[in-house]
Amino acid sequence: MDIEAYLKQHENKDMLRFLTCGSVDDGKSTLIGRMLYDSKMVFEDQLSAAESESKKYGTTGEKIDMALLVDGLQSEREQGITIDVAYRFFATENRKFIIADTPGHEQYTRNMVTGASTADVAIILIDARKGILTQTRRHSFIVSLLGIEHVIVAINKMDLVDFSQEVFNEIGVAYDKLADKLGIKHKYYIPLSALNGDNVVNISESMSWYEGKPLLTLLDTMDITKEQKAEQFRFPVQYVNRPNLDFRGFCGTVVSGSIKVGDEITVLPSGKSAKIKSIINAGDITENNLYVTTQEAFRDMAVTIMTEEEIDISRGDMLVHSNALPSVSNNIKVMIVWMDEKPMELHRNYDIKRATTILSGSIEKINYKIDVNTFERMQVERLELNDIASCRMVLSRPIAADAYKENKPTGSFIVIDRITNNTVGAGMIVGLSRRDNDTIKKEYTIEEKELNAYVRKHFPEWDCKAI
């Protein structure tokens, strides 16, 4: 099959992104390696390298160490743990998959958050001998926090507990209680042995009591249709394109909703309004014709928008429908995962990057920190590495504050240290802080201002306020 036929065969398949997480040595990398190996998605040279490395490190006796098909860093191979997030792609007859193999060690929780941020499904591995551990709780909490609705609880190493159905059931009951606390909607339980391949791609003959699907079949057939929500139009302006005096367009990607030519949009945070003059699809622009337009732009389309009125719009502004304005504030309530060895400092200025906006901000108050063991709320004065907390953040100027659960692209942000330029935190907007909710100031026309002045001058008894 040539490359064109191969691409044509795969282009119409839907994509499922999932991550594997859990505690150290639960077998995440081994599971992925086994899945790739049994579904014949491993190239000959990769397999030869894994065989050679397996003999070198001798972690699995005479067998191939499947984890070596995934763990790419030399330090990972030496220690037998996953440090970085490893992404792998493969496809079946029905679907395309992107796997994020995330670290299990608490020290690398920030990497797990990175892998989970784009996933549709989470596979949480549990060692059948150990049951639910602190990292199981931590990762489950992060998965629920990031809004991942489908969780597969893979109870691994069943071969080491004699494929006991009783052990499987006990862990399932314990995880049910945990999931209920976190509000996880869709749970699936699979007993497996990643090392031997039981219930990974093929159904296990050692666990005849299990009546469900093997893992790959479950992933291949799982319905991940998300609840339909009325998406509001959001267009973070990435670039103002002005090649000549006759052309001024605003470039970016529609992150949610849709927009049509003739619709009225509002620019946030300024609050100025204008009508859409034209929408130029990036693929339509040619050297001879810059004005080939489309009538409507949808989510994920990269377009250039022109407005009828010449109003001030800059990079970092957000274009929204005028009939569906979000809240605007510089004082917002957030959930933060702290990702730096250096503790977070209250009232210190950090750079906050949200969509195409970069502005200054500081954490003014830690409302509470979550204890991942008990999910209790604790009062603390600072955040350490991997802490998860609810905070009040104050920004140097107002932004359109979408809640993360309503709009992931505009409801999430990262925190950057201004001195080191390192990303030190990741956060989600929960809502506005109650103290200082800002509202969009209406822009009055000249005629309205003149009428207001006339009324105040000639009818003072009406107590008309100046605008």
State the chain's maximal CA–CA distance in angstroms: 98
Asked whether 195 and 27 are in contact (CB, 8 A), the reply is yes
Give the number of other CB atoms < 10 A from CB of residue 267: 23
Angle at 173 between CA 168 and CA 178, to 5 degrees: 120
Instruction: Round to whole Å and give the CA distance between 79 and 8.
Output: 41
Instruction: Round to whole Å and give the CA distance between 243 and 69.
Output: 49
Which pLDDT belongs to residue 432? 80
Which pLDDT belongs to residue 158? 92
Bridge partners of 296, per DSSP, are 260
Asked whether 407 and 232 are in contact (CB, 8 A), the reply is yes
Which pLDDT belongs to residue 116? 78
Q: Where are the beta strands (DSSP E) in 356-403?
A: 357-370, 377-378, 388-400
pTM of the model: 0.73
Query: Which helix (H) or strand (E) is 352 found in, with range?
Result: strand 350-354
Which pLDDT belongs to residue 325? 86
Asked whether 116 and 102 are in contact (CB, 8 A), the reply is yes
- Collapsed DSSP state (helix, strand, coil) of residue 200: coil
Instruction: Round to whole Å and give the CA distance between 109 and 83.
Output: 10
Instruction: Round to whole Å and give the CA distance between 370 and 329.
Output: 25
End-to-end CA distance of the chain: 71
Instruction: Round to whole Å and give the CA distance between 29 and 84.
Output: 12
Asked whether 326 and 342 are in contact (CB, 8 A), the reply is no
Per-residue tokens: 120: 């549709």
Per-residue pLDDT of the chain (467 residues; tens, 9 = 90+): 566 776 666 667 788 888 888 777 778 778 888 888 887 776 666 667 766 766 666 666 667 676 666 655 444 445 554 555 667 777 888 888 888 877 656 666 677 777 777 888 999 999 999 999 888 888 898 888 888 889 999 999 999 999 999 999 999 999 999 998 888 888 999 999 988 889 988 898 899 999 999 999 999 888 876 655 567 899 999 999 888 777 888 999 999 988 888 999 999 888 889 999 888 886 666 655 556 577 888 888 888 998 988 888 989 899 999 888 888 888 999 999 898 889 998 999 999 999 899 999 999 999 999 887 778 888 998 899 888 899 999 998 888 888 988 888 899 999 999 999 988 998 999 988 765 444 445 566 778 888 888 888 888 777 777 77
Which pLDDT belongs to residue 226? 61
